[in-house]
Amino acid sequence: MAEIYYGVTFMISMLLTLFYIGIWHKHFDAHMTVMFILIPINQLGYWLYSTSETLGEAIMAQKIVYIGGSYMPLMILLMILGMCRIELKRWATVLLYVVSTGIFLSAMSIGRYHFFYGDVKFKIENGTPMLYNKEYGFMHTVFYGVIVTYFAISIIVIVYSYFRKNQVSRRILYLLFMPDVVATVSFFGGRKLIDRIELIPAAYAFAQLTYLIIIYRISVYDVDDTAVDSLVERGDTGFITCDFRFRYLGSNDIAKEIFPSLNKLTVDKSMKRDIFIKSTMMRWLDAFKRNGEKNTTYFVKGDKTYLVSIGYLFDGRRRRGYQLVISDDTKNQKYIRLINSFNDKLRTEVEQKTQHIVEMHNKLILSMATMVESRDNSTGGHIKRTSEGVRILIEELRKDEDFVLDEKFCQDIIKAAPMHDLGKIAVDDAILRKPGRFKPEEFEVMKTHAAEGARIVHEILEGTDDKVFQRIAENVAHYHHERWDGSGYPEGLKGEAIPLEARIMAIADVYDALVSKRVYKESMSFEQADKIIMEGMGKHFDKSLEKSYVAARPKLEAYYSTVQT
């Protein structure tokens, strides 16, 4: 009876192991593979024990049983930890292997030393061989303790994962729980149910069947493996690998179709030997080696565009070299080119519309400034002349190494110059058009045009996307009458507290006032105007602008010689 039972369980176990070998994949858990090897060995030991006729044969059979029995509980624990995605420290794993190996070595000493069993006797009773009068050694007690400990840890891990790990399949947890409990109960309680028959072989066969079901299920859940397998199976993705010394390790057929030069390479030989590969792949790999962010590139062959993704080749957690993954990206690139073409066209149209709106906006502002100027019978052409004066000064300032002016600032201040006197729209005609010098109280009213101009500019430009231009335009209108020594208006700002754009505007504004005719004065000569401007450097004007003003003076004089002032 026992011989038939053990023989049947051994054959079932062998068949299940052969089936596992038939479906084996390199991504299968290593501990599960070891279990499918150990279980038939364990079953073989039980069958040999049931057919033994001498003490020596029985002891040898027991040793074979313990080959599997010493490591099976550990393999089950490590497999459960792996499937529950709980990482065990390396030192802890090594320690567990040492303990299991100690149990195995002590079991191998049965019949010679008393570490595991003491003196045993052998008899055949009712046709069934048996060892009796066993005296268990301390390592046998350790063996029992280890089994209980491993079982307890396994159950705790399964329960913890059930409640805390959403990425672990609940069905897999159920399947892991069943064989663990069945094997442990069979080991400790099986003999009490059926005399002289061990239930653990049947429990192990049940475990094998359960683990095959787990393998079938987990292959679907393992996204990394299924994704890679799907790419390979689909047959449109190329793979190329090399070590850190750029020695060729291998490639698949798709990669060789895309890069025929790979067919000439010899495994373990440098990829640099091939001229084409040296000018393509080696260049890509060198760029990735210098900067890990440069991990993608494109390769065009005929009418196809391939995306080349570069990464590290891993062996477990260790980096062993580089891997190139090549995929056909032709459709995506055509789509991107179509989108880019559409975007370029749309961008051009938007820029044209925007430019049209900007031009209308600028003309509106210039028209307002001209309207204000037309109310002042002493400032005809002032807006146009001061704007040109600002442009000439800016041109020389950009050559001065002491000033770092970006292109936009220069354009913005030139564009803002016509707006500097917009505040005069709020000044009464009786004062603005007075044909003579102002009385003190009239001048106080006239001075309000600076702050009023800033307010008007703010309201005109409020809501614009160009906040930088808005700020520059407001500053030009608000502060172009401030003086370097703090004696100006409307706020009496001093030195660099006055915005640079206002300091530039001040020179152009005063220069125009000096060389232009007014109802209360004749125009000055260029020499007289220059003398006043130079005397004002460091008092009225920013001294650091003197160098640029001096350089701009010939152009200013040439311009003013051609216009009616």
Q: Are residues 411 and 371 in the same domain?
A: yes
Q: Is residue 361 part of a domain?
A: yes
- Residue 356 phi/psi, 5-degree rounding, is -65, -45
Give DSSP secondary structure letters for 16-74: HHHHHHHH--TTS-HHHHHHHHHHHHHHHHHHHHHH--SHHHHHHHHHHHHHHHHHHHH
CATH of the domain at 434: 1.10.3210.10
Average pLDDT value for the chain:
83
Angle ∠(518,524,527) on CA atoms, nearest 5? 160
**pLDDT, tens digit, 9 for 90 and up, residues 192-234:** 455 567 888 888 889 899 888 887 766 544 444 544 555 555 5
- How is residue 431 written in tokens? 């004062």
Distance of CA 531 to the CA centre of its chain: 63
- How is residue 506 written in tokens? 């001040």
Q: Are residues 222 and 239 in the same domain?
A: no
**pLDDT, tens digit, 9 for 90 and up, residues 119-161:** 777 777 766 777 755 677 888 889 889 989 999 999 999 999 8
**pLDDT, tens digit, 9 for 90 and up, residues 317-328:** 678 889 999 988
Cα separation, 139 vs 157, in Å, equals 26
**pLDDT, tens digit, 9 for 90 and up, residues 468-497:** 888 999 999 999 999 999 999 999 999 999
Q: To the nearest 5 percent, what fractions of the chain are helix, strand and coil?
A: 65, 10, 25
Residue 30's identity, in one-letter code, is A
Q: Are residues 297 and 374 in the same domain?
A: no
Distance of CA 105 to the CA centre of its chain: 51
Angle ∠(262,267,271) on CA atoms, nearest 5? 55
Question: Is 263's pLDDT higher than 50?
Answer: yes
Question: Is 12's pLDDT higher than 60?
Answer: yes
Question: Is 15's pLDDT higher than 90?
Answer: yes
CATH of the domain at 248: 3.30.450.20
* Mean pLDDT computed over 514-543: 87
Cα separation, 389 vs 141, in Å, equals 103
Coil, helix or strand at residue 485: coil
Which of residues 283, 313, 328 is at a domain's end?
328
Q: Are residues 293 and 147 in the same domain?
A: no
Type and span of the H or E element at 241: strand 237-243
Q: Are residues 66 and 149 in the same domain?
A: yes
Which of residues 226, 253, 274 is at a domain's end?
226
Residues in a beta bridge with 250: 241
Q: Which residue has the higher pLDDT, 364 or 1?
A: 1
- How is residue 553 written in tokens? 């003076």
The gap between the terminal CA atoms of the chain, to the nearest Å, is 128
Cα-based torsion angle of the residue sequence 458, 463, 468, 472 in order, rounded to the nearest 10 degrees: -10
- pLDDT at position 195 is 57
Q: Is residue 554 part of a domain?
A: yes
Q: Is residue 342 part of a domain?
A: no
Phi/psi region, residue 312 (left: phi>0; alpha: psi -120 to 50; beta: rest), is beta
Highest mean pLDDT out of 88-92, 331-335, 373-377, 445-449: 88-92
- pLDDT at position 169 is 76
Give the gyration radius of the chain's Cα atoms. Answer: 46
Q: Are residues 77 and 32 in the same domain?
A: yes
Q: At what angle do helices 200-221 and 30-51 cross, to 10 degrees?
A: 160
- pLDDT at position 220 is 47
Cis peptide upstream of residue 260 (ω within 30 degrees of 0): no
Cα separation, 477 vs 461, in Å, equals 13
Q: Are residues 47 and 187 in the same domain?
A: yes
C-alpha distances (whole Å) from 531 to each of 51, 373, 471, 514, 524 are 126, 28, 32, 11, 11
- pLDDT at position 349 is 78
Q: Is residue 295 part of a domain?
A: yes
- pLDDT at position 379 is 47
Q: Which of 100, 34, 38 is nearest to 65 (CA)?
A: 38
Domain that holds residue 410: 356-560
Cα separation, 70 vs 73, in Å, equals 7
Owner of token pair 């991504």: 27
| Backbone CA torsion sign across 235, 240, 241, 247 | positive
Q: Are residues 48 and 163 in the same domain?
A: yes
- pLDDT at position 125 is 72
Burial of 483 (0-12, 13-18, 19+ CB in 10 A): buried
Q: Are residues 211 and 250 in the same domain?
A: no
Question: Is 542's pLDDT higher than 50?
Answer: yes
238 contacts: CB under 8 Å, gap ≥ 6 = 251, 252, 254, 255, 256, 257, 258, 259, 306, 324, 325, 326, 327
Number of structural domains found in the chain? 3
Over pLDDT 70: what percentage of the chain? 86
Cα separation, 514 vs 525, in Å, equals 8
Distance of CA 186 to the CA centre of its chain: 51
pLDDT tier, 74 (very low <50, low <70, confident <90, very high otherwise): very high
Q: Is residue 174 part of a domain?
A: yes
Which of residues 226, 261, 285 is at a domain's end?
226
Distance of CA 187 to the CA centre of its chain: 51
Q: Are residues 263 and 371 in the same domain?
A: no
Cα separation, 537 vs 548, in Å, equals 12
Q: Is residue 340 part of a domain?
A: no
CATH of the domain at 23: 1.20.1070
Residue 223's identity, in one-letter code, is V
Q: Are residues 219 and 247 in the same domain?
A: no
Residue 29's identity, in one-letter code, is D
Q: Are residues 441 and 529 in the same domain?
A: yes
Q: Which residue has the higher pLDDT, 97 or 53?
A: 97
In this structure, are residues 308 and 299 in contact, taking their beta carbons and an 8 Å threshold? yes
**pLDDT, tens digit, 9 for 90 and up, residues 155-196:** 999 999 888 877 677 788 888 888 888 888 887 765 545 556
- pLDDT at position 462 is 81
